[in-house]
Amino acid sequence: MPLVYCVPAREPDIEVVDACHAVFAEADPDLIVAVGGGSTMDAAKVARMMLVNPGGAAAIAGFDVPHRPHASLFVGVPTTSGTGSEVSEMAVIGQAGSDIKLRYRSAALPFQVALLDPELTLSLPPKVTAHTGFDAFTHALEGYVSRSANLMTEPLSQNALRLLHDWLPVAVEDPSHKAARCHCMIAAMQAAIAYNTSQLGLCHALAAPLGAMFHVAHGLANAIALPAVTAFNQSWFGDKAPVIAALLDAPAAAEGVARLRKRVGLEIGLDSVVPDGAGRDALASAAMRSGNMPHNPRDAQWEDVRAVVEAMR
């Protein structure tokens, strides 16, 4: 059988997924292997599902849409330690001109085999290592404190927090450090296994429109939002608050988050991305429509989210 391939040109949107789907449809594959970061894996997941679920990428989006699985063997090979898409039941793709992204969740979506090899991450530049690693760190923290967390997800989220706090700065400072790369890769996977159930929260509700509206890389968007979101939420962490503070070696969770962000070179405020008030109003409004909001540990109205946005400096 001939080998065919598709290389996504950018973060996945409908156009990118349609291009991948066209390649898949022509090949009628028995085996699909996705090698790359979260963008590549999410594009492959949605394009594959389109093979047996007609209607296009937008039509099959959502959490309550029944999906049929494709018969091919599906293998994910991550080359970053960030999204955890290799074990996630979810995918996210953009829509041109929209302030929100299409979200998918389905038992038909995941890879059947995930191959994790830290050697594949050794060439990742420090900046990309920091962005993707902070995304995984955000998954771990938001998954741990989510209203939907439980006794099965919490140990995975907690261990991922510990590993990323200890090893992400090492991987950023010394990209060739194989042990650091290995620990970050395992942590990203653990955090994603947990958030399959726990879901995420306000930080991801803000990060998605930061990407869709202002073209901020997803991991950087999380880094911009997470300290302020954690400060807003931490009084609602309950018994988990001292656990997080201890894991992050800080007096409180929000301070630990800010310290890690600084250590990996992502101490960037919203002023450099969304300087005007109208843009910030739109950002808060988009976040309120996110499906992540019900899982946030603290209830938030628009005014609360707008205040968090203002604190993202």
CA geometry: angle 14, 17, 22, nearest 5 deg: 120
SS3 at position 248 = coil
For residue 301, give its domain range.
Answer: 123-310
Q: What DSSP state is assigned to residue 13?
A: B
Cβ neighbourhood burial of 265 (10 Å; 0-12, 13-18, 19+): middle
Distance between CA atoms of residues 218 and 207, nearest Å: 6
Q: Does residue 93 sit in the same domain as residue 174?
A: no
* Summary mean pLDDT of the chain: 94
Q: Does residue 103 sit in the same domain as residue 156?
A: no
Model confidence over 257-299: pLDDT tens digits? 999 999 999 999 999 999 999 999 999 999 999 999 999 999 9
Q: Does residue 138 sit in the same domain as residue 204?
A: yes
Where does the chain show beta strands of DSSP type E? 31-36, 73-78, 90-93, 102-105, 113-114
Which of residues 65, 83, 114 is at a domain's end? 114
Q: Token match 């991450």: residue?
A: 121
Model confidence over 203-251: pLDDT tens digits? 999 999 999 899 899 999 999 999 999 999 999 999 999 999 999 999 9
Beta carbons of 257 and 226 less than 8 angstroms apart:
yes
Distance between CA atoms of residues 79 and 33, nearest Å: 13
pTM: 0.94
Task: Please say if the pLDDT value at position 100 is more than 90.
Answer: no
Give the burial string for 143-165 (b: 16+ CB within 10 Å, else e): bbbbeebeeebbebbbbbbbbbb
Residue 2 lies in a domain: no
Q: Does residue 208 sit in the same domain as residue 297?
A: yes
Count of domains for the chain: 2
DSSP states along 129-144: HHHHHHHHHHHHHHHH
Q: Does residue 191 sit in the same domain as residue 246?
A: yes
Residue 94 lies in a domain: yes
Q: Does residue 178 sit in the same domain as residue 291?
A: yes
CATH number, domain containing residue 294: 1.20.1090.10
Give residue 94's pLDDT: 84
Model confidence over 143-180: pLDDT tens digits? 999 999 999 999 999 999 999 999 999 999 999 999 99
Beta carbons of 8 and 39 less than 8 angstroms apart:
yes
Give residue 253's pLDDT: 98
Q: Does residue 286 sit in the same domain as residue 171?
A: yes
Residue 3 lies in a domain: no
DSSP states along 70-99: PSSEEEEEESSSSS-TTT-SEEEEB-TT-S
From residue 265, give the alpha-carbon distance in Å to each of 133, 181, 272.
12, 17, 15
Task: Output the six-digit token pair for 138.
Answer: 């955000």
Give residue 3's pLDDT: 62
CATH number, domain containing residue 72: 3.40.50.1970
Q: Token match 């018969």: residue?
A: 71
Residue 5 lies in a domain: no
Confidence of residue 11 (pLDDT cuts 50, 70, 90): confident
Q: Does residue 192 sit in the same domain as residue 299?
A: yes
Residue 264 lies in a domain: yes
Q: Does residue 148 sit in the same domain as residue 262?
A: yes
Which of residues 95, 114, 133 is at a domain's end? 114
Task: Output the six-digit token pair for 204.
Answer: 């991801």
Q: Does residue 210 sit in the same domain as residue 72?
A: no
Residue 19 lies in a domain: yes
Contacts of the segment 242-246: beta carbons below 8 A, 24+ positions apart:
243/158, 244/141, 244/144, 244/145, 244/161
Q: Does residue 154 sit in the same domain as residue 300?
A: yes
Q: Does residue 138 sit in the same domain as residue 255?
A: yes
